[in-house]
Structure formats: C-alpha cells, structure tokens
Amino acid sequence: MNHSTIRKTLAKLSLGDLRYFDSIGSTNDEALAWAAAGAPDLSLVVADEQTQGRGRLDRKWFTPKGSALAFSLILHPGAALRPHLSRTVGLAALSIADSCSGLGLVPRIKWPNDILIDGKKTAGILIETVWSGDEADSLVIGMGINVLKGSIPPAESLQFPATSLEDALGMEPPAREKILLNILSALIDWRERMGSEDLINAWEERLSFRGEQVQVRTGSEPPITGELLGLEPDGSLRLKDGGDKSIIIRFGDVGLRPTA
C-alpha cells in the first residue's frame, strides 16, 4: 500500500485530498491538525503503521506495519447534516459493517463504536471534532480495521477478544486499498441518507446483543443492566430494566458488554 495505489483505487470516488504515511503517530492527530488548517471535505489520512494509535479516553489502538487499515476521514457537516451529527458513529459503523458483509462475513455493531465478527472486535471507530466557537467545524472519523492476522494485539493487552478479517474469512482478504474503497463508498452513500429512518433501521439491525441482557458502564457511575432493545432516533441506546422501564444511554464514555 502506498500513496499511488490508494489514489488509483479510490479514483472514482469524489474525495478531498489524500495524505499517506508509511508510519505516523496517529492518523486522527494528523487529520485534526489538517482539518483545523482548512482541509477540504472528505480529505483522507491513511497510514500503514501507527506508533501512537488512539482509542477513546486515550486508550491505545494497535496498528502494526503491513497488516491493518488505519485511516481518518475529515467531514464538513453541511446544513443538512448538522441536525444529525449524533448519528456519525452509526454512519461509520454501518460503512465498515457493509464492507464486511460484502466479503461474506456477518458483522455486528457493539454500540457505540466497535465492529464484531464472530463476537470478537475487528474494528474500532474514534470520532473527534474541530470546533469553531460552539459549532462543529469538521468531524474526524478515525477507523482501525484488523485486516491480516498480524494486526491482532496480544491477548493480554485486551479487555475484549479481537480478530481480523483474515481469521474470520479463513483466507487472505482483499488488498487494504480495496477494503478502504468499499468502506468509503458505503459511507458516501449513507451520508446522503444521514437523516433517514433507513440509517437508524440498518444500524439497529446490525446491533450485537439485541434482546439480550447487557451491562453498560458510563463514566464512573455504577453499571446499568438491562435488555438491549434498540436505538433512539438520535442513535442513543435503549435498554429495558427489570421493571419494564426504558433506559436511554447517551454517547460519551460508554462501555457495553453482555452479562453472561
């Protein structure tokens, strides 16, 4: 993978500019700085390796050389998108999920930001915002996808099991550029329908643990346990507690797992 193979593979998409790095700290850091300096809409930062890849709350995201897909996409939310910004993580998750389905896999979205295959984490999403006063000027959507086996972190460093597309397929997956093309094509399509019920329905259908008991941790509050019902129109998670009362979990520092 290099600048020219990515450029060539993505040629038919209407993207902004492209920056490619053999190695970088974090593609999100690069994209945040670039967005603040005026990067065009749908500009893309891709790296073969990240040495300081980040998850939420500064957790680490493992991106060793030659085996993973790590990129950040800059979005300028136009007037049509602004009322639906809370759905951005769904937009990203659905795009990854669609690309996995295209490979014949059955992906699930562990709300809010993980993609599971065979119940194991295969991809993660980190969305960050460049503010202009109290308006979101740009969003940076960072995605990390484990493509080859070598991208899976050592088990002892994980709180949740991980896998790769190669493991899930039982064979070598398509080139990373091709997977990137499929994710971005899906994202550009879904972005047109950001405010639609279709997006919420498709997102909800892909949720892991639907109808099951889950435990959700939000910040330092005691965990909330309930049956996972689905999504609210803004993408918040809806649970039902033992007394049939609805509980709405908004985004933020959230960790979800099955109780069993």
- Return d(Cα 44, Cα 28) in angstroms, integer: 10
Q: With respect to ligand BT5, which residue has the nearer C-beta, 53 or 77?
A: 53
Q: Are 64 and 213 within 8 A, CB to CB?
A: no
Q: Coil, helix or strand for 99?
A: helix
Interface with ligand BT5 includes 111 (CB under 6 A)?
no
Burial class (CB in 10 A: 0-12, 13-18, 19+), 233: exposed
| Residues 6+ positions from 246 with CB-CB distance below 8 Å | 229, 238, 239, 240
Of 10, 15, 20, 27, the one binding ligand BT5 (CB under 6 A) is 27
Q: Which amino acid is at 29?
A: D
- In whole angstroms, the minimum distance from the beta carbon of 160 to ligand BT5 comes to 6
- In whole angstroms, the minimum distance from the beta carbon of 90 to ligand BT5 comes to 15
Choices 4-12, 78-86, 138-146, 242-250 (CB under 6 A): range interacting with ligand BT5: 138-146
> Which parts of the chain fold into alpha helices (H)?
3-9, 27-36, 88-101, 165-169, 176-192, 197-205
Q: With respect to ligand BT5, which residue has the nearer C-beta, 46 or 239?
A: 46
- Omega prior to 161 cis, within 30 of 0: no
Give the sign of the dihedral formed by CA 106, CA 111, CA 113, CA 114.
negative
Interface with ligand BT5 includes 121 (CB under 6 A)?
yes
Q: With respect to ligand BT5, which residue has the nearer C-beta, 114 or 227?
A: 114
**Binding residues for ligand BT5 restricted to 173-232, rule: CB under 6 A:** none
Choices 73-81, 86-94, 143-151, 246-254 (CB under 6 A): range interacting with ligand BT5: 143-151
Q: Which amino acid is at 135?
A: E
Convert residues 56-75 into a mask of x (bound to ligand BT5 by CB under 6 A) and - (unbound): x--xxxxx------xxx---
Q: With respect to ligand BT5, which residue has the nearer C-beta, 30 or 227?
A: 30
Pick from 186, 21, 3: nearest CA to 90: 186
- In whole angstroms, the minimum distance from the beta carbon of 259 to ligand BT5 comes to 19
- In whole angstroms, the minimum distance from the beta carbon of 201 to ligand BT5 comes to 24
Tell me which residues touch ligand BT5 (CB under 6 A).
26-28, 50, 53-56, 59-63, 70-72, 113-114, 121, 124-126, 142-144, 146, 151, 153, 158-159, 162
